[in-house]
Amino acid sequence: MSGKTYLHVDMDAFFASVEQRDHPEWKGKPVIVGGLPTERRSVVSTASYEARAFGVHSAMPTQRAYELCPNGIYVHGNMKHYSEVSSKIMEILSNYTPDIDQISIDEASLDLTGTQMLFGPSDDLARKIQAEILTETGLTVSCGLASTKYLAKLASEVNKPNGFFMIPEGDEEKFMLNLPLKKVWGIGGKTLERMNASGFFTTRDVHEKPIEVLKMVFGEAMGTFLFNVARGIEMESEKKKSHSLSNETTFPFDIKDIYAAETALMELSYSLMFRLLKEELCSRTVFVKIRFEDFSTVTVQETGEFITSGDMLFEKAKKLLEKKFSVEKGIRLLGVGVQNVEKGLEGNQGVLFDFGEKKKMALEKAVLKLKSKHPETKIQKARLFSKSHFSGEK
C-alpha cells in the first residue's frame, strides 16, 4: 500500500476537560459547556463524558440537556482560554513533524512517514505524545494511526476517550467493513436516511455493489466516494476534484455582535487563503454560510474577479455577511468558502493581478512558507477596523 503513516490527534471533550482541569472539584462530574439552562435557546458546546452518559451532546439545546441531566454543572465557555490551550497542544505536536495539519481547535493530523528512524515505531510515539500532552496540559487525548489521514481520523474515534487505535497496513478494507455506516465520516444524517431507504445498512452493502450502481443510486460524486470509502481507499483526488473549499467555525455562544462575527470571518478567510495558496488553487466565487441561533442556515455567494489575497477574500466575505447579518438573530456557525476552484494560481496571476495584489500575494506566500516551516508560529494580522455602516458604537 502507500507506506505512509498518519497520526490523528483529537482532544477528549475538549472544552469540558479544560473546565474540569481548571476546577478540580468538577472532575468525575457531568460538566456541560455552552449556554446556561436559564438562557433560552442556548445550545451545548460540548459535554464531559460523565454528562454524555445522560445523553447530553454537542449542539443540543441546553434546556433539553437540563431535562436529561438536571444535576450537571453548566458553564459558559471561554474561547480565548481554549485557544491558548490549543496552541500549546499544537506546539507539542509540531515537535514531531513539520508536516502537521491542524483540523480544528482540538484536532490535528500528523504525517509521521519517515519519522521512525528518529522517534521509533509510530505506535510507541503516539503513546508518548499522549503522555506528554497529559503531563504538559493535564488533558487526555485520543490518537489514531493509519496509512491515510482519513482512516487515522476514524481510528482516533474507536477507543475514545484517552484511547489509541491503529489500523495495521493491509487491514484498511477490513476496518471499513466492520464500521457502522453512521461512523463513516462524510455520511451525514440525511445521506444515511437516503442510504437506508435504498437498502444500504452497512459498509458491506456498499462494498458489494459495483461503482456504476452506486453512481446511479447516489449520483456521480457520492457514488464514487462510497465505492472508495468502503474499500478504505484514500480519496486522494477528493480534494483536487472537489470544486469548493471552505472553512467554518461553530461558536460556543451565538454571536450577536458584528465586530465579533467579522473578526471570526477574517480568521476563516485567512486560513482559507493559505490553503488556496498552498494547493495553488484559485477561484472567483466566494460564499459565506451562516447558521443562526434557530438553526436556519443561509448561504450567500458572489462571483467576481479572481481572489488573490486574504484581504480580498475577507473584504468580499464581509460584504456577503453584511447582507444577512441582523442584530436580532445570533449567529451559531459561520463559514467562508470558495467555489468552482481551479488549478493554477501561478499561471493566472500575471494577467489577472495588479501590482498591489501581487505584492500582497507574495507576502502571504512568504508567511505561508514560514508557517509550514514553523507551524508553531502564530501569524496574526492586526485588524484595521473599517467602520461598517451598521457597526454602530465603534
Residue 59 within binding range of ligand TTP, rule CB under 6 A: yes
> What's the min distance (Å) between Cβ of 3 and Mg ion?
29
Asked whether the CA dihedral 163, 167, 173, 174 is positive or negative, the reply is negative
Question: Which residue stretch of 10-18, 173-181, 335-343, 382-390 sits at the interface with ligand TTP (rule: CB under 6 A)?
Answer: 10-18
**Of residues 107, 234, 293, 357, which has the active-site annotation?**
107
Q: In what order do the strands lie in the sheet with 297-303?
A: 244-255, 331-339, 285-292, 297-303
Eight-class DSSP state of 245: E
Please give the full DSSP string across 79-133, using - where no structure is assigned.
HHHHHHHHHHHHHHHTTT-S-EEEEETTEEEEE-TT-HHHH--HHHHHHHHHHHH
State which of residues 45, 148, 308, 309 lies at the interface with ligand TTP (CB under 6 A).
45
Q: What angle (nearest 5°) sits at the alpha carbon of residue 165, between those of residues 153 and 117?
A: 90
> What's the min distance (Å) between Cβ of 9 and ligand TTP?
10
Residue 105 within binding range of ligand TTP, rule CB under 6 A: yes
Q: Which of residues 92-151 bind Mg ion (CB under 5 A)?
A: 106
Residue 172 within binding range of Mg ion, rule CB under 5 A: no
Nearer Cβ to Mg ion (147/156): 156
Please give the full DSSP string across 214-242, using - where no structure is assigned.
HHHHH-HHHHHHHHHHTTT---HHHHHH-
- Are 274 and 380 within 8 A, CB to CB? no
Query: What's the CA gap between 144 and 37, in Å, rounded?
Result: 35
Residue 331 within binding range of ligand TTP, rule CB under 6 A: no
> What's the min distance (Å) between Cβ of 50 and ligand TTP?
12
How crowded is residue 34: how many other Cβ atoms within 10 Å of its Cβ? Answer: 28
> What's the min distance (Å) between Cβ of 10 and Mg ion?
4
Residue 252 site contact among ligand TTP, Mg ion, none (CB < 5 to 8 Å, cut-off depends on kind) = ligand TTP
Residue 167 within binding range of ligand TTP, rule CB under 6 A: no
Question: Which residue stretch of 12-20, 302-310, 318-326, 334-342 sits at the interface with ligand TTP (rule: CB under 6 A)?
Answer: 12-20
Q: How many residues bind to Mg ion according to rule CB under 5 A?
A: 4
Query: What's the CA gap between 156 and 289, in Å, rounded?
Result: 29
Query: What's the CA gap between 109 and 112, in Å, rounded?
Result: 9
Residue 311 within binding range of Mg ion, rule CB under 5 A: no
The verdict on whether 107 is a catalytic residue reads yes
Kindly state the helix (H) or strand (E) to which residue 255 belongs, with its residue range: strand 244-255
Kindly state the helix (H) or strand (E) to which residue 152 belongs, with its residue range: helix 149-158
Residue 253 within binding range of ligand TTP, rule CB under 6 A: no
State which of residues 12, 50, 293, 357 lies at the interface with ligand TTP (CB under 6 A).
12
Cβ burial, residue 237 (10 Å; 0-12/13-18/19+): exposed
Residue 122 within binding range of ligand TTP, rule CB under 6 A: no
> What's the min distance (Å) between Cβ of 283 and ligand TTP?
27
Torsion of CA 206, 209, 210, 211, to 10 degrees: -30
State which of residues 113, 250, 349, 388 lies at the interface with ligand TTP (CB under 6 A).
250
What cell does 45 get?
458546546
Taking alpha carbons only, the member of 170, 165, 87, 168 closest to residue 126 is 165
Question: Which residue stretch of 13-21, 88-96, 267-275, 310-318 sits at the interface with ligand TTP (rule: CB under 6 A)?
Answer: 13-21
State which of residues 19, 106, 234, 293 lies at the interface with ligand TTP (CB under 6 A).
106
One-letter amino acid of 169 = E
> What's the min distance (Å) between Cβ of 178 and ligand TTP?
20
What cell does 375 get?
507551524
State which of residues 7, 8, 14, 345 lies at the interface with ligand TTP (CB under 6 A).
14
State which of residues 5, 7, 9, 11 lies at the interface with ligand TTP (CB under 6 A).
11
Residue 33 within binding range of Mg ion, rule CB under 5 A: no
State which of residues 5, 8, 9, 11 lies at the interface with Mg ion (CB under 5 A).
11
Residue 293 within binding range of ligand TTP, rule CB under 6 A: no
Q: What is the binding site for ligand TTP (CB under 6 A)?
A: 10-15, 45-46, 58-59, 105-107, 160-161, 250, 252
Active site residues: 107
